[in-house]
Structure 1
Amino acid sequence: MNAASDYLAKAVSLLQIASRREAATLAAAAEVAAEAVAKGGLIYIFGTGHSHMMAEEGHFRAGGLACVVPVLSSAVMLHEGALASTQLERLTGLADIVLSRYPIGPADVLIVFSTSGVNAAPVEAARFGRARGAKVIAVTSVAYSTAAAKGRERLADLGDFVLDTGAPPGDAVATIREGVTAGPVSTVLGAALLNALLVEVAADLERKGHPAPVYLSANMPGAAENNVKLTEIYKAHNPHL
């Protein structure tokens, strides 16, 4: 097996494991999130470094939910300086500054992503959500955060619901030479769990008689009317629309 096939096989295996292991948590978290949306609440998504991509993954895309609000800040992204971002996500107090821009409250859900699960920003983001009364869904690697914690508080300790991606400590899965692995899997696993959660939220809403606010692809019939209607509803609540 070549390196590419090895990576893909391991990613598929981890997805299959996560699908089985996290099924009950996905269902329970989705039910709570759907109830929040049905009552007018929002689903916020926060992550730093590469995990910030999960906030963008849930934002304004075909098949996605219009009730999703990404928490975006250049300070904790990579495009304006990866080295600085890496330092800032470890900085105590930064999460409160970033999240204070968003009116997160008891009616809402906050999803926090962090693969390592121990950096200050995601841990404090979860605390912020809990302090505001929001339900917090932590998406992390329990194995990675356990290995990295060294006595520190973990994101996994703070979620009302914890979705374990199953990414290994260090994240990479393809052995290139002795002691060196390449091929991170956290993005694949995190995006899959996020979309599984949001799909279940949409299905739960529909089962209970609440039309799910799903965006359609701009290239599909009826998309313009559907999407304009949804953005008119949610643009007052989402600063990134």
Structure 2
Amino acid sequence: MSVRESTPADRDTWSPEEVTAEAYAAGVQDVLGRALREELPAVRRAAELVARSFAAEGLCYVFGSGHSHMFGEEAFYRAGGAVRICPILKPPHMLHEGAVHSTVLERQSGHAGSVLDGYRLDGARDVLLVASNSGANPLPVEVAQAAKTRGLPLIAITSRRYAGAIERPGPRLHDIADVVVDNHCPPGDAFVTLGPGLPSAGPSSTVVGLALLNAIIVEALGVQLRRGETPEVFMSANMPGAAEHNSESARRMSEIVPHL
């Protein structure tokens, strides 16, 4: 079963029995499989930038606002994740201090400076990954532009289709990124049709985007291995030796990663 491009109003027949867990799972599998196949060259290019940063003792910064802030949290201090990850986490632009307000802020210009305040952002060593499904909101675009001004290579995880469906002036994230990894998600994000006059359900961009994010990181660690370098990876806290291993890694990173 593939993701439907039509709505109930466009079709001759539709039944509530089509709104199932299986329909959502099939949609996720379809989009995720297509993204991982078709974006593999972009994933590898992004991984080269990340591996180069790791080798230079730099950081891969990860930013997203609204629900996309989860990209930073997923990559950070993660069992099986790279040590040299720094999320850009500013509570007003996340969800827990006010989801509605965070949406308002995301669509305003002029917040990039305060968002990046307190992070090193060294153009000679670091790289920035920005996740934005639509790629059209001013905040992620301006954060990306500000980081590029500082000399950082820019990786975007976004949906070109969604960006193209929005009638709003201004640049899109994929227009300014050095490497674009397309999540292949539909405009509006959700893809399970509920019925005439109802919004679709079943968001896709997080589950697909996080898989792409982790694919980039794993590929970057593999690049390091193939170059004879030693990747730095956090362990699950419940594994033997993890406490000492993770503590030492965190100690080394604590001066440049404020969230440790």
2:210 equivalent among 159, 167, 191? 191
Q: Which residue of 1 aligns with 2:120?
A: 103
**Correspondences of 1:121-132 after superposition (within 5 Å):** 121-132=139-150
| Conserved 8 A contact 1:118-1:149 | no
- Give SS of 2:257's match: coil
The equivalent position to 1:210 in structure 2, one of 202, 223, 229, is 229
Letter in 1 for 2:69: H
Tell me which moved more, 186-195 or 92-101: 92-101
Equivalent position amino acid for 1:40 in 2: E
| 1:19-38 alignment, distance < 5 Å | 19-38=36-55
The two structures have a TM-score, normalised by structure 1, of 0.97
Question: Cα distance, 1:218 vs. partner?
Answer: 0.7
RMSD: 1.1
Secondary structure at the counterpart of residue 202 of structure 2: strand
Q: Which position in structure 1 is the counterpart of 2:97?
A: 80
Distance 1:230 1:8 in 2: 37
**In structure 1, what is the equivalent of residue 14 of structure 2?**
none
Cα offset, 1:64, TM superposition: 0.6
Q: Equivalent residues in 2 for 1:210-229 (5 A)?
A: 210-229=229-248
What CA distance in whole angstroms lies between the structure 2 residues aligned with 1:161 and 1:45? 14
CA gap of 1:57–1:149, structure 2 versus 1, over 3 A, is: farther
- How far apart, in 2, do the equivalents of 1:131 and 1:52 lie? 22
CA distance in 2, matches of 1:33, 1:65: 10
What corresponds to 2:22 in structure 1? 5
What is the aligned partner in structure 1 of residue 75 from structure 2? 58
AA paired with 1:194? L
In structure 2, the partner of 1:135 is: 153
Answer whether contact 1:42 1:69 (CA < 8 A) is retained: yes
Higher normalized strand content (fraction of residues) = 1
Match for 1:9: what amino acid?
A: A
* Amino-acid identity (%): 45
1:2–1:149 Cα change, 3 Å: closer
Question: Structure 1 stretches (4+) deviating beyond 4 angstroms?
Answer: none
Question: Which stretch shows the higher mean deviation, 133-142 or 201-210?
Answer: 201-210
> Unaligned stretches of 5+ in structure 1?
none
Shift, 1:152, TM fit: 2.4
Distance of 2:230 and 2:252 partners within structure 1: 13
> Which structure has the larger Rg over C-alpha atoms?
2
Alignment length, in residue pairs? 241
Measured against aligned partners, the alpha-carbon deviations of 1:76-102 in whole angstroms (never above 9, x if no partner) come to 111111111110111211122111221
Amino acid in structure 1 at the alignment position of 2:49? V
1:118-162 Cα shifts (integer Å, max 9, x gaps): 111000011011101000001101100110143321011010000
One-letter identity of the residue aligned with 1:13: D
TM-score for the superposition, normalised by structure 2: 0.90
Deviation at 1:61, TM superposition (A): 1.1
Cα shift at 1:239: 0.4
1:42 is the counterpart of 2:34: no
- Measure, in 2, the Cα distance between the counterparts of 1:160 and 1:136: 5
Matched AA of 2:74: E
Report deviation, 1:177: 0.6
Could you say if the C-alpha distance between residues 201 and 149 of structure 1 is closer, same or farther in structure 2, counting changes exceeding 3 Å?
farther
Q: Is the 8 A contact 2:19 2:192 kept in 1?
A: no
Q: Which runs of 5+ in 2 are unaligned?
A: 1-17
Equivalent residue number for residue 176 of structure 2:
158
> Which residue is 1:116 aligned to?
134
